[in-house]
Amino acid sequence: MRSANRAECLQLIERYSPAALLRACTASRAPTFLYSCGATPPPGQLPADPTHAAAFCIKFEELCKAKGVACRRGNFDDLIKELAK
């Protein structure tokens, strides 16, 4: 049933997912990504919220580097500082 729900939502996922948006644009058009994520769980333990887990951040960083897009992990204060520039 879960995969059926995902199939129904796939269009929305592709429209709003940071990874999907990054894959769809060229490095020259991509903004610098500033993001935050939780701590990586111990090996063998699943995160409470896999969609927003640290593993996604690790894969997202890999995707950014592969495309040549600037990204960095931060927190809310870092975001405010970035927006104030």
Tens digits of residue pLDDT in 23-74: 888 888 888 888 777 777 777 887 777 666 777 888 888 999 999 988 888 7
- Residue 1's pLDDT is 43
pTM passes above 0.75: no
Quote the pLDDT of residue 52: 67
Total tally of structural domains belonging to the chain: 1
Instruction: Tell me what pLDDT residue 47 has.
Output: 77
Return d(Cα 12, Cα 32) in angstroms, integer. 23
Domain that includes residue 60, residue range: 2-84
Q: Where are the alpha helices (DSSP H) in 1-85?
A: 2-16, 18-24, 54-67, 76-84
| Predicted local confidence at residue 59, as pLDDT | 85
